[in-house]
Structures are given as C-alpha cells and as structure tokens.
Amino acid sequence: MPFAATYNTSGDREDLTNALTILTPEDCPKMSTFPKSSVPFNMYQEWQMDGLLPVNFTGNIEGADFSSFTDQVAARARVGNRVQNFGATWAVSRNQLAAEVAGVANEMANSKTKAARNVKRSIEACIGSDNDLQAGSGVAPSKLRALGKWISTSPGSDVPAAYTTPTASIDTTATASLTESAFNDVFQSIFQQVGGRRSYTLYAGPSLKRAISNFQRVTGTSGTTKTYMVTQDATQHQIDLNVTIYEGDFHTVTVIPDLFNGLLDGAAPSTTTSQQKARGYVIDPELVGIGYQFGMESVDNPDFGGGPNGYVRTAVTLMLKNPLGLGKFAASS
C-alpha cells in the first residue's frame, strides 16, 4: 500500500481550543470562614483581654465587715494588631488587548480578576504565617501579626504572659508520630484555660489531615498490611476513611484541609514544604476576626500609551481576642 514519505504542514492552521485552565491552590478557608471584626479606624487596632480571679472559699465571719478590697480589673490588658495593605498590579498592552485569546473573552477583565485572586491568596497566606506585627514608616510597610505568632509562647512583649498560649496547647510532634492521645492533649489544655466544651475548627495542612484520619485505622506490625476498621452500610458500596468532624472529651472539631499555613513570603503554595503540610491552627470562631479597613477595590490608572493598567488593593488586620483559647500543631515534618 503506497504512503506519502514526506509531509508539508506549512499551510495547516493551528488548533487551539477555546479553553484556559488554571490549576493552582486557591481555596482560602480562613478568609471564607473567619467572621468579620469591627472596621479598623486607624493603622493600629486595639481590644482588651481580661480574666477572673482565683476561687476563694475560706468563708466570711458572720457580722464582720470587709476590711480589704480587691481590684477586680487588675488583670485587664490592652493589645492590638497592625493593619496591613495588600495589592497586586496588572497591565495589558494595546496589541494584546486587540488580540483574540483562546478561552479569554476580555484580557483586561481577566487580568483584573487574576490580580484580585492573587491578593486574596496573599492575605490567606499572611494570616496563616508566623509573621510578627511591624509599624509602618516611610521605608517599611505596616504588617499584621499572624496566627503563627499570636498562638505561640512568645507572641510579643505587648501581650501579657497571663494571656499567652500555654505550651501544652501547642503540639510539635511529627505528623507521622502523632497519636490520638497527643492530639487530645492540645484540646484538654485549651479546656483547662477556657472551661466548658466548645466547637472548634482545625485548619490543617495535608500531612496533619492524614494523621488525623489515621486515628480510625489500626496499623499492623512491620511487614503486615494495614487493617481498616470501618462500620458502614454495605449498600453504600464505599469505604469512608475521611475524618472531617472529631468528637473528643473536651471538644468538637471540624477539620478543614488548608495549604496556606506556615508559608514564607514569596512562596508558591503548590510547592509544599514540610512545615506547611504539618501546620494546623485550632480556632474558636468567637475569638478571631478579620477587619477590613477598606474592601477589595480595583483602580484603573491613566493609559499613557503603553496600554491599560491598574491595581487591586485592600487593607486588613487580624483580630485575635485571647490566645488562651486557641491551639496549634507546629511540627516541622
């Protein structure tokens, strides 16, 4: 059967489908679930922490007057956080604006949308980082104190020791060695600070999330197969090995996978680090809030000939009402 030995493809049209797919981590669970706090009216927003005195049941003598008096608000403390500006720029040349791009109806609108998405990811990563607050100046930006710094044994000299997160509320066990007992120790420590059974959200890196799911599995000895002990209706034709809600002695915790914890500035969330995968924050929704000094806004600059350009910006701070009521998983692997 004869066949052509050579081909001339110079006249062939390119086949570029009308589709454009972006696959990078974009879920921002903390920004999506943290409640909004009051609007900051200055670059430094403050709030107060307080506590109750030790119990006293020595009793009072009948008929005796009180001879000494107690300052019930002596432990009151005033703390705060800085407002941080976030922004992303965009630019489209005149030629690119006139071109037909596959999968993009309008290149300028697409650029604005991507800039806003990048700002949102940056805020999410900043909140979940170990960054400390920084006062702004003519040469340095104002920076907020992030969760990793707030929930630590050394959050800063402005946070009184009485309200610093206890060591027992922070677990540094490698995720591969994390036991259910060590996991519950964190929540017991929080319980001993705040009292009462509460509902929490754990924003967990992927390694930490898998370690929690392993709590329901029995691992055989070396060289044997793992045994999965699951009780489910056989008609479902599925095996559920995912733990999303954990009921413990002192808590109910919803576990949410999160790739935006423990990142360094400039890091790509998809290029995961051991710290990022192992980091987790135990959050009581009543004790946190994100304050927007102004919301996300898009600004178009004048076009001086190079094409349309502009930026998207916002200014936010993180309110953490009392570090005593929160916890952290801070393993390095």
The pair phi, psi for residue 94, each rounded to 5°, is: -60, -40
Question: What share of the chain in percent tops pLDDT 70?
Answer: 85
What was the pLDDT predicted at 10? 67
What was the pLDDT predicted at 70? 93
User: Using CA of residue 148, residue 150, residue 153, residue 155, what is the dihedral sign?
Assistant: positive
Q: Is the confidence at residue 12, as pLDDT, over 90?
A: no
pLDDT band at 322 (very low <50, low <70, confident <90, very high): very high
Closest by CA to 252, choosing from 282, 286, 272, is: 282
pLDDT digits (tens, 9 = 90+) for 221-253: 555 555 555 566 666 666 566 678 888 888 899
What was the pLDDT predicted at 102? 83
DSSP string over 22-84: --S----HHHHHSPB-PPPSSSEEEEEE--PPPP--S---TTPPP-----TTTT-EEEEEE-E
Mean pLDDT of all residues belonging to the chain: 89
Q: Which residue has the higher pLDDT, 69 or 196?
A: 69
Q: Which residue has the higher pLDDT, 227 or 312?
A: 312
What was the pLDDT predicted at 63? 92
